[in-house]
Structure 1
C-alpha cells in the first residue's frame, strides 16, 4: 500500500497521559518496517477553504486561533498545542491525497491509506470533540465531490472505528450524495448512532448505523459487511468508498468491549474491496482511532498484507443472538430485501 504520512502530525501532542499519542504513528511505522511493498507519501496541507467546505468557517478560524494562542483543553477529552493547527491541516491534506490517489487509479498494492493525526470522525460541523478537531474523512469526501476532474456523484464513508462516527453523520445527515455507514459498539462514547438514525430530508436512508452489542466478534462484523453494508452501497451506485479505519474494536484495545481479532481487519478489508470492485468505485483508507499500540500497528499491517496478496481466514464461530437481532433491525430500518447469514 501507499501510506500518506507526515512528520508534522507527530507535533500534535495532547500529553503523555492522553491515549491519542504521537506514538500511535511511530508504532505503525515501526511495524511496517517488517513488510515489503510499503511506500510513504507526504502531501500538501489543506487550506481553510477546503476545511470550511464541511465545517463552519467561524469554528475553523477559532481552532486556528486557539492553537496560535498556545492551545490547551478544548474540552475534557480534546487538547491542542501550538503545533496542532499545522498537524490538523496536514492530517486533512493526507486524507485528501488518499482520495485523489484512489480516484486517479491507485489500486491493488498501490491502494492509499492516510495515517495522519489528529483523527477526525467525531468533529461535527461547528465543534471539536473526542480527540478530533477537523473531520478528515468528511473533508476528503467533499474534496473529491468538489473537483470536476474526478467526475463523481456519490461517495460512501464506512466507519469501522469502535466509536460512532457522529461527526461524519452530522456533516452528511441531510445529503444524498454521501452514504455514511458506522458499525460501532452500542452505548459507547459519544452515545449516538442508533439504528433509527437513517438520515433526513434529501439524505433520508443514506445513513446506516450498526450498533453492535458489547462482546461482538468477527462473525457478526463479517455478516454486516457481506449483508446490509454491501447491499446498501451497491444499490447506491457509489463512485468512491472511503474507509474511516479505526482499530479500537480490537479485543485487546484498552477502551472498548468489542472482540475483534486482528484477522477481522483482513476480512473487513477484503469485503470492502469487493464492494468497491462491484461498484467500480475507487477505494481509500483514513486512520481514525486505535489506542493499544501493538494491536493498532498489527491491524494496520494486516490491512497492508491483504492488499499485498494475503488471503483472509474466515471465522468458524457463530454470531450471538443479540448481534443477529441488531443486523435484522438494520435490514428492516433500511427496507432491504435480505436475510442475515450469520
Structure 2
C-alpha cells in the first residue's frame, strides 16, 4: 500500500496519559518496517477553504486561534497544543491525498491509506469532540466531490471505528450525494448512531447505522459488511469509497467491548475491496482511532498485507442471535433483502 504520512502530525500533543498519542503513528511505522511493498507519500496540508467546505468558518477561525494561543482543553476529552493546527491541516491534507490517489487509479498494492492524526470522525460541522477537531474523511469526501479533476457524483463512507462516527453523519445527514455507514458498539461514546438515524430531507435513507452489541466478534461484523452494508453500497453505486478505519473494536483495545481479532480487519478489508470493485469505485483508507499500540500497528499491517496478496482466514462460527436481530432490523429499516445465513 501507499501510506500518506507527515512528521507534522506528531506535533499534536494532547498531554501525558491521553490515549490519542503520537506514539500511535510511531508504532504503526515501526510495525510496517517488517513489511515489503510499503511506500510513504507526503501531501500538501489542507487549506482553510477546503476545511470550511464541511466546517463552519467561525469554528475554523476559533480553532486556529485557540491553537495559536497555546491550546488547552477544548472539552474534557479533546485537548490541543500549539502544534495542533498544523497537525490538523496535514492530517486532513493526507486524507485528501488518499482520495486523489485512489481516483487517479491507484489500487491493488498501490491502494492509498492516510496515516494522519488527530483523527476526525467525531468532529461535527461547528465543534470539536472525542479527540477530533476537523473531520478528515468528510473533508476528503467533499474535496473529491468539488474537484473538477474527477468525475465524482457520489461518495460512500464506511466507518468501522468502534465509536459512532457522529461527526461524519452530522456533516452529510441531509445530503443525497454521500452515503454514510457506521458500524460501532451500541451505547458507547458518543451515544448516537441508532438504527433509525437514516438521514433527513434530501439525505433520507443515505445514512446507515449498525450498532452492534458488546461482545460481538468477527463473524457478526463480517455478516454486517457482507449483508446490509454491501447491499446498500451496491444500490447507491458510489464513484468513491472511503474507509474511516479505526481499529479500537479490537478485542485487546483498552476502551471498547467489541471482540474483533486482528484477522477481522483483513476480512473487512477484503470485503470492502470487493464492494469497491463490483461498483467500479475508487477505494481509500483514512485512519481514525485505535489505542492499544501493538494491536493498532498489527491491524494496520494486516490491511496492508491483504493488498499485498495475503488471503484472509475465514471465520467459522455461527451468528449470535442478538447480532442477527440487529442486522435484520438494519436491513428492514433500509428496505434491503439480505441473506444472513441463519
Q: Same fold (TM over 0.5)?
A: yes
Counterpart in the other structure of 2:89: 89
Is the contact between residue 227 and residue 341 of structure 1 (CA under 8 Å) also seen in structure 2? no
Shift of 1:16: 1.8
For residues 72-83 of structure 1, what are the structure 2 equivalents within 5 Å?
A: 72-83=72-83
Is the contact between residue 11 and residue 83 of structure 1 (CA under 8 Å) also seen in structure 2? yes
5+ long unaligned stretches in structure 1 = none
Counterpart in the other structure of 1:9: 9
Shift of 1:337: 1.8
Counterpart in the other structure of 1:272: 272
Q: Does 1:24 align with 2:27?
A: no
Counterpart in the other structure of 1:48: 48
Matched residue count: 342
Helix, strand or coil at the partner of 1:241: strand
Counterpart in the other structure of 2:218: 218
Counterpart in the other structure of 1:322: 322
Counterpart in the other structure of 2:297: 297
- 1:285, 1:318 → 2: CA distance? 29
Counterpart in the other structure of 1:178: 178
- 2:84, 2:236 → 1: CA distance? 37
Q: Does 1:60 align with 2:50?
A: no
Shift of 1:320: 1.2
Is the contact between residue 155 and residue 240 of structure 1 (CA under 8 Å) also seen in structure 2? yes
Is the contact between residue 217 and residue 319 of structure 1 (CA under 8 Å) also seen in structure 2? no
TM-score relative to the length of structure 2: 0.99
For residues 130-149 of structure 1, what are the structure 2 equivalents within 5 Å?
A: 130-149=130-149
Helix, strand or coil at the partner of 2:225: helix
1:249-303 Cα distance to aligned partner (Å, 9 max, x none): 0000000000000000000000000000000000000000000000000000000
Moved over 4 A (4+): none
Shift of 1:163: 0.1
Shift of 1:340: 1.8
TM-score relative to the length of structure 1: 0.99
Counterpart in the other structure of 1:110: 110
Does 168-177 or 330-339 show the bigger shift?
330-339
Helix, strand or coil at the partner of 1:296: helix
Shift of 1:148: 1.9
5+ long unaligned stretches in structure 2 = none
- 1:205, 1:220 → 2: CA distance? 23
- 1:337, 1:217 → 2: CA distance? 23
For residues 179-198 of structure 1, what are the structure 2 equivalents within 5 Å?
A: 179-198=179-198
Shift of 1:15: 1.0
Helix, strand or coil at the partner of 1:51: helix
Shift of 1:41: 0.4
- 1:16, 1:35 → 2: CA distance? 31
Shift of 1:339: 2.8
Aligned-residue CA RMSD in angstroms? 0.5
1:280-331 Cα distance to aligned partner (Å, 9 max, x none): 0000000000000000000000000000000011111122111110000000
